[in-house]
Each structure stands twice: as C-alpha cells, then as structure tokens.
Amino acid sequence: MNKSFPAATAPHTVGSNRVGRIMGLVICALLPAIILHVIVFGPGIVLQIVLGVTTALVTEALALRLRQQPIRQFLCDGSAVITAVLIAMCLPPLAPWWLIVSGTAFAILIAKHLYGGLGANPFNPAMVGYAVLLVSFPAHLTRWLAPDIAGLQPVDLSFGDVFHTIFTGQLPDALRWDAITSPTPLNAVRTGLAMGNTLQESVASPIFGAFGGKGWDWINVGLLAGGMSLLALRIIRWHTPVAMLAGLMVPAAFMYAMDPGTYPGPLFHLTAGATLLGAFFIATDPVSSATSNRGKLIYGAGIGLVTYVIRAWGGYPDGVAFAVLLMNLSVPLIDRFTVPRIYGHER
C-alpha cells in the first residue's frame, strides 16, 4: 500500500446546497408574494416581517447561548428568519406587535430549541407558533383589511397610520375596525353557509373574483411562481406539493359535484387561504416532513385531505396549519413503512 498519499474518510465531495443557501433561496421565492401582499393589503406585512425577524434572531441567539452552541454558525443559517417570515405571512397586516413577537418567540424556543434545535424538531416551528396564536387570540387574527383592489378598501392608510396601529393597537381617529376590515374568502363562505345561504349567494360579495377572493388570487399566483422556482432549482421535490394539492382538490371536486350549492369547487380552494403557501413553503420543510418519495406522497396527500375536512366541517375556516402539525405526528409511522431497509440491517 502506497503511504505517500494520505486518504481521508468519506464523504469526499461537499454539496453546494448548504442550509444558508437553501433558506436564502426560499426567502427569495417568497418575495413575489410579499410584494403582491403589500400592493393588496398595504405595508403592514413589512413591519410584521421586521418585527418577526428581529425577534427570531434575538431568541435564536439567546437559545444558542443557553445551550452553549456556536451562535454565529447557527444564527446565519437563515432557518430562524424563514420561520419569522412564514408566521408574518399568516397574520393580518395590522395585527398588534406582540402577536408576531410572541408567536415567533414560541416557535423558536419551544417548537425548535426545546427539541434540540435545527434538524431535531418534529414539528414545523412556524406552524406551531401560528397555531398557538390562532387558538389563543382568534379575534385578532380575523382583522384582515379589505383588499385594495377595484376600490374595495374604503380608506388608504399611510405608513404612519399602519405603524401607529401595529404598535398601539388603536386605529387613527374616525376609523373603526368594522369599517376597514373584511372577512377572508374562506371565512365569508363559511359564514354565509352557516346563515343558510347557498354558495352562490355567499360568493356574491364584491370581495370575490372569478376563482377566489380578489387580491388573494394574485398573492397565490406569486406563491405559485415562487414554488415553481424552488422546484426548478431542485430545492424542493414535487412529491409533497403535488400530493397535497391533489389531496385537497380531489375531495373538493367530488363534493362540489355532489352538492354545488354547498361546497366550493377545487379552484376556489386552490386560490383561497394558505393552500399554495402550505404546499410549496410549509409542507416541504425537510426536517419535519417524510423522508422517502413514497412517504412524501402519503404525507402531502394527508395534509391536503385533512385541510379539506377542516375547511368543510371543522371549526376553523382554514386548516393548513393544523393539517401540517397532525401529519408531522404521522411522519415516524410513514417513514417506518416507506423508507427502504438499509442493506445488511433488519428493521
């Protein structure tokens, strides 16, 4: 054996997909939807993102310090930032500052570091933080502005008005919440059906467009464009998004065919709520999702099906967050039966 050439142990190559690069590309893929969100609902989401990212970085640094982990290495990987951005995109743009701060801090401290940090968390941290806010403060999460499309928004709030409302919880003088807010498309349909109206009567409101809610459909187009870019760059694989969309749209199409006066069609579910955000940016979390391709198909289909069940018969207008968390619980079982057995090892 020639000893003049020292041999290192495997692996001998280093992949280019570092955590920081992947998280940066995911944030870039969210930019079209964020820009459209500003156009439709105003600059509130920008302040929410700034508050969330600041909280995430401070909380991450504190947790790493307490765990005696290298702060710079993990603080710069972008995982905390993407958690904050996803939570901010789920909140109304005028939500009080303490909502995004408490939700993000809970996501980082409890859902992430309590289980050992990045790579060890069994649940999606962003969805844990959002679900806690949804259960604890439901009234604050219904204060969505009317979309600034075709004059639907009754007033134009300046950046100063938005800043004042977020940090004080009070609207400017002469304005009231019921005058400037509007139900989300999913909430409007649920309320209308609960009042005994037909689906056609429920969507007669001017907030609805050809497929879903006005403005919301454009934001979802931005999310679709960002998701397709992640697929093209091979940051995510197609199995989970396609399976989730199929798991949602197939039962939606079936129920719509059975009773079109009560159940919205698949295109409405596709362009309303957090469907595309969940399919491309939440369910594809590499840590808390299934491992194998077969497992991803089962995992994604389960999220879509549970989302539809919650939307159609559950207690919340949208069910993406709860569906993701429920399927996170199922990941060990899914992997148990779908991950191929390693050669030479027994299960």
In which band, very low, low, confident or very high, does the pLDDT at 200 lie, cut at 50, 70 and 90? confident
Q: State how far the alpha carbon of 126 is from the alpha carbons of 133, 294, 331, in Å.
A: 11, 25, 17
Cα four-point dihedral sign 270, 276, 277, 279: positive
Question: Which residues are registered as beta bridge partners of 84?
Answer: none
Q: How far is the first Cα of the chain from the last one, in angstroms, to the nearest whole number? A: 38
Average predicted confidence (pLDDT) for the chain? 88
114: which residues sit within 8 A by CB, 6+ positions away?
Answer: none
The DSSP symbol for 147 reads: P
Range in 199-213, 273-287, 327-341 the model is least confident about: 199-213
The answer, yes or no, to whether residue 151 has pLDDT greater than 70, is no
- Taking the C-alpha atoms of residue 289 and residue 299, their distance in angstroms, rounded to an integer, is 7
pLDDT digits (tens, 9 = 90+) for 230-245: 999 999 999 999 999 9
The answer, yes or no, to whether residue 6 has pLDDT greater than 70, is no
- If one compares 62 and 346, the residue with the highest pLDDT of the two is 62
Looking at residue 344, its pLDDT comes to 56
Six-digit token string for 15: 């992949």
125: which residues sit within 8 A by CB, 6+ positions away?
Answer: 83, 107, 108, 111, 112
- Taking the C-alpha atoms of residue 132 and residue 99, their distance in angstroms, rounded to an integer, is 10
Looking at residue 8, its pLDDT comes to 53
% of the chain at pLDDT higher than 90? 59
In which band, very low, low, confident or very high, does the pLDDT at 4 lie, cut at 50, 70 and 90? low
Looking at residue 150, its pLDDT comes to 59
The answer to whether residues 70 and 108 touch, using CB atoms and an 8 Å cutoff, is no
- The domain limits of the chain are 17-182, 185-337
Looking at residue 1, its pLDDT comes to 47
In which band, very low, low, confident or very high, does the pLDDT at 51 lie, cut at 50, 70 and 90? very high
Looking at residue 62, its pLDDT comes to 94
Q: State how far the alpha carbon of 206 is from the alpha carbons of 10, 151, 215, in Å.
A: 62, 10, 11
The answer, yes or no, to whether residue 81 has pLDDT greater than 80, is yes
The answer, yes or no, to whether residue 3 has pLDDT greater than 60, is no
| Average pLDDT estimate for 70-77 | 80
Looking at residue 236, its pLDDT comes to 93
In which band, very low, low, confident or very high, does the pLDDT at 301 lie, cut at 50, 70 and 90? very high
Looking at residue 117, its pLDDT comes to 86
Amino acid (one-letter) located at 85: V
pLDDT digits (tens, 9 = 90+) for 209-233: 777 788 888 999 999 999 999 999 9
- If one compares 130 and 76, the residue with the highest pLDDT of the two is 130
